[in-house]
Structure 1
Amino acid sequence: MIGDVVDTLHQHREKVRLLSYFILMLVLMPSLGRLFGAAYENGHVSRAFLDLRHLVDIIDLEGVSVFFLGIFLGLLVLMTIDPKKRWQGYLLWIGLAIAMLGLQSMGLFIPNIEFTDTANLGWLGVGVVLGFLAGGGRQLLQAETARAREFRRASFGIYVMVVVLILGSLVEYHVLYPEFIEISSEGLVVFAVDNPDVGVETDGLLFNLGVAAVVLVTVRQFIQYDAKEDFFVLGPPASGKSLFLIGSYLAALNRNPNDEATNNTPLQPSQDLMEMVENLDRRSSGWIVDATGQGEIKDLEFQYVHGSTFPKNVKIASIDYAGEYLSRLPDVLAGAVTEEDTDNTLLRLAGGVESADTLILLVDTERHVNGEGLDIKEYFSILQSVDDTSVFVVATKADILADRFREEEGIEAHLAFDEFKSYVSRELRQSEQVESLIRQTTSTEIHPVYYQTRVNDDGDRVPMRDETGSVMTIGFDQLLEELGR
């Protein structure tokens, strides 16, 4: 029962996050609005900042208020237009409305502004236009480009304004200090304060600090566009590293074709990756993609969009290398070999492993079924060198087990993928090496991926192609979903 609830929450985690954020806005924003109001009533520096208008004498207090409101609204409009930040924008609109109502209950802001006044409307419009331009609104006037249509500056601008407003309010309300500055139309006067009496207002301090921290962390998450994880792929010789990365890219290419955020975000594949895809895309009965040669390095990377309610860019970047280097990698990571005695390929491999947040370790299913050695003993030394790195175990060439699964269960593997995934895990964990690897990585299952294949007249497995001549991949879309979580 509990397991089913956990699985349901995990499956609908984005909707759960949305509901959680909505509840946070309803609960915390009234308190935050009261903090803003109390800080304005009790503060000195903030009032002096607003009094700077006297030095130019072209705008009054109402104009200053609606001007900054306009900047925020201009940024928020762009954030709401952005497909990746639309729901975050809706939540911030709700938060803004609640904060305004909180200030209104204290007789501040809205009750003191005449919104029908032409001058106020003018300053509001200037603020909106300025926020719109500063947030990158010019993109809306440009033709389609190779860049994703993202208004990152708008999201960051909102975050900066929220941070300044919250931290300034905390200081103004909870730090007691004498008035030392006065600004009027006659100029700026700074008073000399002898033996200034500075104190702290402790009433409500912990509560306000808690509210401020939660809101700042939440808004910080709102403006995140890119996943923080770096992925790096390791595999023994002939384990299918190149085809694994190609399959992942092809799955990303066909993900969520009707999703606006996905369609507006280029995949930005590397040249080496596209060269491999081009080779595989030839209408041939074979694989075309050759094994990576000794000393040869290929930069393989692309990005894809994960999530629908809170989409983010996930980047998979790795280098393709000859599998023989895997046996030499543990010594380099352990520092047993000096840089002078290490070639560039090994140095780049070691750097990729050390900088990765998640290692994707490949296990060759075909070797296991044929009773051959898996050549994964180096994984254990590598994992000991990178203690804090997450691990994702992937079974490549799982098509050979897909055939067996169909014969035993009477259903195609791709039609019952979760059951097939468990089937592959049970099968591979019969190997003591794989079982030890799973135990060391605290993983529970192995993720299978494969190309749909057939056996040709020579007895070799070759890729099947659909009516358009494209290869057919299984498990890669589910893999991208797991990596993006």
Structure 2
Amino acid sequence: MITTAVTALNRHREKVSLVGYFVVMLGLTLPLVTMLGSAYEEGKLTRSLIDLHLLVDAIDLEGVSVFLLGIFIGLLILLTIDPKKRWQGYLLWIGLVISLLGLWTIGLFIPNIDFTSTTNLSWLAVGTLIGLVLGGGRKLLRTQTAQTLEFRSAARGIYLIVALLIVSALIETHLVYPTIFEITADGVSIVSSESSDVSIETDGLARNAVLSGIFIVTVRRFIQYDSEEDFFVLGPRGSGKSLFLIGAYLEALNRGRNDEATKQTPLQPSQELMKMVENLDQRSEGWLIEATGRGEIKDLAFQYVHGSTFPKNVKVSSIDYAGEYLSRLPDALSGAVTEDDADNTLLRLSDGVEDADTLILLVDLERYANGESLDISEYFSILQAADDKGVFIVATKADVFVEDFQKEQGIEPHLAFDEFKDFVTQRLRQSEQIDSLIRQTAGAEIHPVYYQTTENENGDRIPMRDGTGSVMTIGFDRLLNELGR
């Protein structure tokens, strides 16, 4: 039962986190509203800033209040339109209503504003329009582009407004100081005071400071935009780098078709990757993936979005090249090889490793099954030279283990993938080299992936295709989920 609950929490942890953040914000709203009311009544500098409207005949205090509310509403409208932040927008609307009701209970804001006044409604509309402009609302007037529809400025604006209100209220509530300015319709004057003492009101300071800090941090996490993580794929010659990138891209293309944030985020595949996808998409027997010519470099890359409530941009990339470069890469990373002595391919590989947050190391299961050398000894030197990187170990061409697994378990791997993953891991850990690699990476899991294949009359493995002529991949969906966590 506990295992089932943990599994359910992991599956829905984004939604659980979203609700958790909202509950924290909701629980802190009422005590912070009380602090805001106290700051408004007792504050001096903030009150002087509000009284600046007295210098302008066109707007009164009610107009200033609804104008500022309008700016916040304009920003919140954009956040609600944003497919990546829609749920946060809905919950912030609820939070806004609760905050206004809380101020109402202490006689502030709503009781002091005539919302039937044409003048006040006009200022509310002007504020909303300005909020829409400041938040990037002009994007709504543009034709469809390859860029994701995002309103990051709106999210930043909401956070800055909330943080400024909370910090100002905390200072005004607990900092005791004389009046500095007096603002009237006649102008601004500096108030001379017999006492210039400044002190701190410590009663409730610790409590309010802690609540304010928690609220600001929670709001930031609640509305901040997606984080990003870059993965770079390394593998020996013939280990399936190209087919791995193609399979991962096809899976990313087909996932999240019902999710608005995923659908509206371009995958931005590289041109070379799309050429390979086009070749594999032909309804012909075989792989139809041409070998990379000597001196030729192919950039293979794409990105995808993982998650919906707290989406994360994930970029997966690699470089396909002719010849062996893994053995030279550790020296390039450590600086033992200068840029003058390194060719373009080696420099590109080195830059890819250095720029990545996490490395994906490929292990060729076909070589393992045939008793051939895995050619992964360079991985150890690479990991030592890039010791600050995360690591994923991916077992490519795992279809060579499918038949053995079916004989042992009596079920197809895609119907019991966790068991198949354990099966592959146990087999590979019989290799001292693989076992050492797992230890080197602090117990990294092995993630098997493969295309469903069959053998032709020559005994060669060729991809199976479904009724639409598309290749069928296994394990890539699980891997993309793991990369996005």
**TM-score class normalised by the smaller sequence:** over 0.9
> Structure 1: which amino acid aligns with 2:23?
I
| Structure 1 residues 404 and 52: CA distance shift in structure 2, 3 A | same
C-alpha distance in 2 between matches for 1:446 and 1:206:
48
Structure 1 match to 2:324: 324
Instruction: Provide structure 2 residue ranges, at least 5 long, that are not aligned to the other structure.
Output: none
Q: How does 1:152-231 map to 2 (within 5 A)?
A: 152-191=152-191, 196-231=196-231
Structure 2 match to 1:40: 40
C-alpha distance in 1 between matches for 2:202 and 2:56:
38
C-alpha distance in 2 between matches for 1:429 and 1:177:
70
After TM superposition, give the deviation of residue 362 of structure 1 in Å. 0.9
> Structure 2: which amino acid aligns with 1:483?
L
Instruction: Provide structure 1 residue ranges, at least 5 long, that are not aligned to the other structure.
Output: none
Q: How does 1:282-293 map to 2 (within 5 A)?
A: 282-293=282-293
After TM superposition, give the deviation of residue 200 of structure 1 in Å. 2.6
After TM superposition, give the deviation of residue 263 of structure 1 in Å. 1.8
After TM superposition, give the deviation of residue 132 of structure 1 in Å. 2.1
Say if 1:234 and 1:361, in contact at 8 Å, map to a contact too. Answer: yes
Structure 2 match to 1:232: 232
Q: Provide the secondary structure at the position in 2 that maps to 1:325.
A: coil
Deviations 1:185-226 (A, max 9, x none): 222234577984333333323322322222222222233333
| Structure 1 residues 192 and 367: CA distance shift in structure 2, 3 A | farther
C-alpha distance in 2 between matches for 1:450 and 1:242:
13
Structure 2 match to 1:462: 462
Deviations 1:267-321 (A, max 9, x none): 1212222122122222221212234344433222222221233334333344334
Higher mean displacement: 396-405 or 187-196: 187-196
Matched, 1:108 2:133: no
Say if 1:248 and 1:476, in contact at 8 Å, map to a contact too. Answer: yes
After TM superposition, give the deviation of residue 397 of structure 1 in Å. 0.8
| Structure 1 residues 181 and 300: CA distance shift in structure 2, 3 A | farther
Higher mean displacement: 226-235 or 314-323: 314-323
Q: Provide the secondary structure at the position in 2 that maps to 1:468.
A: coil
Q: How does 1:323-342 map to 2 (within 5 A)?
A: 324-342=324-342
| Structure 1 residues 134 and 315: CA distance shift in structure 2, 3 A | same
Say if 2:174 and 2:205, in contact at 8 Å, map to a contact too. Answer: yes
Q: Provide the secondary structure at the position in 2 that maps to 1:324.
A: coil
Query: Would you say how many aligned residue pairs link Structure 1 and Structure 2?
Result: 485
After TM superposition, give the deviation of residue 180 of structure 1 in Å. 1.6
C-alpha distance in 1 between matches for 2:198 and 2:348:
55
> Structure 1: which amino acid aligns with 2:297?
I
Q: How does 1:387-466 map to 2 (within 5 A)?
A: 387-443=387-443, 445-466=445-466
Say if 1:224 and 1:312, in contact at 8 Å, map to a contact too. Answer: no
C-alpha distance in 1 between matches for 2:49 and 2:316:
47
Structure 1 match to 2:474: 474
After TM superposition, give the deviation of residue 330 of structure 1 in Å. 0.9
| Structure 1 residues 213 and 316: CA distance shift in structure 2, 3 A | farther
C-alpha distance in 2 between matches for 1:257 and 1:276:
23
After TM superposition, give the deviation of residue 238 of structure 1 in Å. 1.0
Over aligned residues, Cα RMSD in angstroms? 2.1
C-alpha distance in 1 between matches for 2:455 and 2:218:
53
Say if 1:425 and 1:446, in contact at 8 Å, map to a contact too. Answer: yes
After TM superposition, give the deviation of residue 383 of structure 1 in Å. 1.6
Say if 1:33 and 1:98, in contact at 8 Å, map to a contact too. Answer: no
> Structure 2: which amino acid aligns with 1:77?
I
C-alpha distance in 1 between matches for 2:357 and 2:222:
22
Q: Provide the secondary structure at the position in 2 that maps to 1:203.
A: coil
C-alpha distance in 1 between matches for 2:354 and 2:143:
41
After TM superposition, give the deviation of residue 368 of structure 1 in Å. 0.9
Structure 1 match to 2:371: 371
| Structure 1 residues 191 and 272: CA distance shift in structure 2, 3 A | farther
Say if 1:69 and 1:124, in contact at 8 Å, map to a contact too. Answer: yes
Deviations 1:354-385 (A, max 9, x none): 23221111111111111111111111122222
Matched, 1:52 2:52: yes
Q: TM-score, normalised by structure 2?
A: 0.94
Q: Provide the secondary structure at the position in 2 that maps to 1:339.
A: coil
| Structure 1 residues 170 and 317: CA distance shift in structure 2, 3 A | farther
Q: Provide the secondary structure at the position in 1 that maps to 2:439.
A: helix
C-alpha distance in 2 between matches for 1:201 and 1:275:
68
Q: Provide the secondary structure at the position in 2 that maps to 1:353.
A: helix
After TM superposition, give the deviation of residue 430 of structure 1 in Å. 1.2
Deviations 1:15-74 (A, max 9, x none): 321231232122111122122222222222211221221222211111111111111111
C-alpha distance in 1 between matches for 2:443 and 2:352:
22
Deviations 1:136-184 (A, max 9, x none): 3343344433222222222222122122222222222233332222222
C-alpha distance in 1 between matches for 2:473 and 2:269:
18
Q: Provide the secondary structure at the position in 1 that maps to 2:30.
A: helix
After TM superposition, give the deviation of residue 329 of structure 1 in Å. 0.9
After TM superposition, give the deviation of residue 235 of structure 1 in Å. 1.0
| Structure 1 residues 132 and 362: CA distance shift in structure 2, 3 A | same
| Structure 1 residues 191 and 414: CA distance shift in structure 2, 3 A | same
C-alpha distance in 2 between matches for 1:105 and 1:25:
19
Q: Provide the secondary structure at the position in 2 that maps to 1:326.
A: coil
After TM superposition, give the deviation of residue 444 of structure 1 in Å. 5.1
C-alpha distance in 2 between matches for 1:194 and 1:452:
86
Structure 1 match to 2:150: 150
C-alpha distance in 2 between matches for 1:359 and 1:353:
7
After TM superposition, give the deviation of residue 477 of structure 1 in Å. 1.3
Q: Provide the secondary structure at the position in 1 that maps to 2:229.
A: coil
